[in-house]
């Protein structure tokens, strides 16, 4: 009898212990390549992280402005040693360091944004921002009168180039003769340079300014000149209420929540995911009042097409700036081609260097 009682107590204790273990806090770490205030990119990810703070039993932490390379390797090792359950690295350059650390810490989960390497405990993810860019291009194409659209862009890396291309395709869907002129600022967050770049485009006759930058500098320039603008990352209408038509925006919170849920349930596995507009990870900010109803309807119809998978955007025939056919008629560009895009479509004026 005594033995049975003792055994029962022991079983109770053990199950209690396992219940305790199951309710252990989940520690989620984030690494940003730039300060969260400065760069809309990191800011958007941080908004996603904050979306996790409401979840029960989840604790988040972040390190910002971590240089790619050995610094990031150290930060990730640090996090892994502290027992973080899952680490999100939000820049391409973190890929190789993360791979090294993933091999050292097989019990920690790693998620890399915008890369392509994987391991048993390392997956990668991204969002199809180019879909939202396409829609914003349609709006720009519909609103321009000078048929010149200016694009202030940061660095000639594939995601920026892909965004410009998708944007231009959207412009041409509504306004086949319009061109998109690109100016590189070589900075993600310098309002002064970005605004000056926008002005330089305005000087050559652009009457809609779009951007792949993280400050509202170009928006200000457009508003001051009395023309239109397209924002980025988040709704920038507060900065340029008379100019801001719409903006392609990120919405990472639902994605991060679903990943952390997988971790909690134990169903997480390393895979390569690139969700699109259908999951809400990218979207279009609300239209400004100046966008006419019929254009809005056209864009929303196109959005429905994209969400339903009917419009893959990079569907041939698509030519590059020199006129060579890069995507054959009827063909859909495969994901790797999109991820490594370094050429501009016809209709873009500018270099990729």
Partner 1 sequence: MFRIRITKRQEPRGWSSCLVVVAAVALSLLLSGILLSLRDIPPLTGLAVLFKGAYGSRFAIEDCLIKAIPIFLCSLGVAVAFRLQVWNIGAEGQFALGAVGATWVALTFPDLPGPILLPAMIAMAALAGGLWGMIPAILRQRLQTNEIIVTLMMNYIAILFLDYLVYGVWKDPTSFGFPMTREFSPQAVVGKIGSTGVNWGLAHCLVLGTAVWVFIRFTRIGFELKAAGDSVRAARYAGIPYDRLVVLVMVISGALAGWAGFLEASATINRLQPSIMVGYGYTAIVVAWLARLNPLSIAVASFLLAGLRVGVENLQLDLQVPAAFGDILEGLILLTVLAGGLFTSYRLSVRGH
Partner 2 sequence: MELAIIVPLLAAAVQSGTPILYATLGEIITEKSGVLNLGVEGVMIIGTLTAFVVALATGSPILAFVAAGIAGTLAAAIHGMVCLWFKGNQVVSGLALTILGTGLADYLGNAYVGRTAPGFSPLALPLVSEIPIVGPIFFNHDPLVYLTYALPPLIWYGLMRTRPGLCLRAAGEYPAAATAAGLDVAAYRWGGVLGGGFLMGLGGAYLSLSYTHLWTNNLTGGRGWIAVALVIFAFWRPGRAVFGAYLFGGIMALQLRLQASGTQLPSSLLLMLPYALTVIVLVLSSWRRGMSEAPAALGVNVEPAD
- Where does this chain bind partner 1 (CB under 8 A)? 29, 35, 61-71, 74-75, 77-79, 81, 92-93, 96, 116, 155-158, 161, 186, 339-342, 353
Looking at the Cβ atoms of 29 and 347, the one nearer to partner 1 is 29
Residue with tokens 């699109």: 276
With beta carbons less than 8 A apart as the criterion, state whether 152 and 304 touch.
no
Query: How far apart (Å, rounded) are the C-alpha atoms in residues 34 and 254?
Result: 22
Please name which of 26, 19, 21 lies closest in space to residue 109, comparing C-alpha atoms.
Answer: 26
| Contact predicate 111/252, CB 8 Å | no
Distance from C-alpha of 270 to C-alpha of 274, rounded to nearest angstrom = 13
Beta-carbon contacts of 12 under 8 Å, excluding residues fewer than 6 positions away, are: none
To partner 1, the closest distance from the beta carbon of 196 in angstroms equals 17
The interface partner of residue 296, options being partner 1, partner 2, none and the CB cut-off 5 to 8 Å by kind, is none
Report if residue 68 touches partner 2, rule: CB under 8 A. Answer: no
The rounded Cα 160 to chain-centroid distance in angstroms is: 10
* Residue written as token pair 């009168």: 145
Total residues contacting partner 2 (rule CB under 8 A)? Answer: 35
Q: Which CB sits closer to partner 2, 16 or 155?
A: 155
Contacts of 140 (CB under 8 A, 6+ apart): 149, 167, 170, 171, 208, 210, 228, 230, 245
Return the one option of partner 1, partner 2, none that residue 349 interacts with (CB less than 5 to 8 A, by type): partner 2
Closest approach of partner 2 to the CB of residue 150, in Å: 7
Site string (178-217) toward partner 2, x via CB under 8 A: ---xxxxxx--xxxxx-xxx-xxx-xx----------xxx
Verify binding: residue 96, partner 2, rule CB under 8 A.
no
Site residues for partner 2 per CB under 8 A: 35, 37-38, 43, 150, 181-186, 189-193, 195-197, 199-201, 203-204, 215-217, 220, 224, 238-239, 349-351, 353
């Amino acid at each position: 009898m005594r033995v049975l009682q003792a055994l029962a107590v022991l079983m109770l204790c053990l199950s209690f212990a396992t219940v305790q273990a199951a309710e252990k806090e989940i520690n989620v770490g984030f690494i940003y390549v730039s300060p969260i205030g400065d760069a809309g990119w990191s800011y958007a990810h941080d908004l996603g992280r904050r979306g996790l703070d409401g979840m029960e039993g989840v604790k988040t932490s972040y390190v910002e402005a971590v240089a790619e390379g050995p610094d990031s390797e150290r930060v990730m090792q640090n996090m892994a040693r502290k027992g973080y359950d899952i680490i999100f690295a939000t820049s391409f350059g973190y890929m190789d360091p993360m791979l090294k650390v993933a091999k050292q810490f097989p019990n920690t989960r790693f998620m890399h944004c915008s890369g392509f390497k994987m391991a048993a405990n390392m997956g990668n993810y991204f969002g199809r921002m180019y879909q939202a860019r396409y829609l914003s291009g349609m709006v720009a194409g519909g609103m321009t009168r000078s048929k010149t659209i200016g694009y202030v862009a940061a660095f000639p890396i594939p995601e920026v180039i892909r965004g410009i291309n998708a944007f231009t395709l959207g412009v041409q869907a509504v306004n086949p003769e319009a061109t998109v002129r690109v100016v590189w600022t070589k900075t993600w967050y310098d309002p002064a340079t970005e605004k000056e770049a926008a002005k330089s485009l305005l000087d050559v006759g652009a009457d809609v300014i779009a951007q792949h930058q993280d400050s509202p500098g170009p928006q200000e320039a457009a508003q001051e000149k009395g023309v239109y603008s397209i924002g980025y990352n988040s709704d920038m209408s507060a900065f340029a209420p008379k100019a801001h038509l719409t903006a392609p925006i990120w919405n990472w919170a639902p994605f991060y929540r679903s990943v952390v849920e997988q971790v909690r349930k134990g169903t997480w596995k390393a895979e390569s995911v690139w969700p699109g507009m259908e999951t809400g990870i990218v979207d279009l900010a609300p239209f400004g009042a100046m966008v006419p109803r019929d254009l809005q309807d056209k864009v929303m119809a196109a959005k429905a097409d994209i969400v339903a998978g009917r419009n893959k955007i990079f569907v041939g025939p698509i030519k590059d700036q020199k006129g060579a056919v890069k995507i054959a008629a009827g063909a859909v560009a495969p994901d790797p081609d999109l991820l490594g895009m370094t050429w501009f479509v016809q209709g873009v004026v500018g270099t990729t260097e």
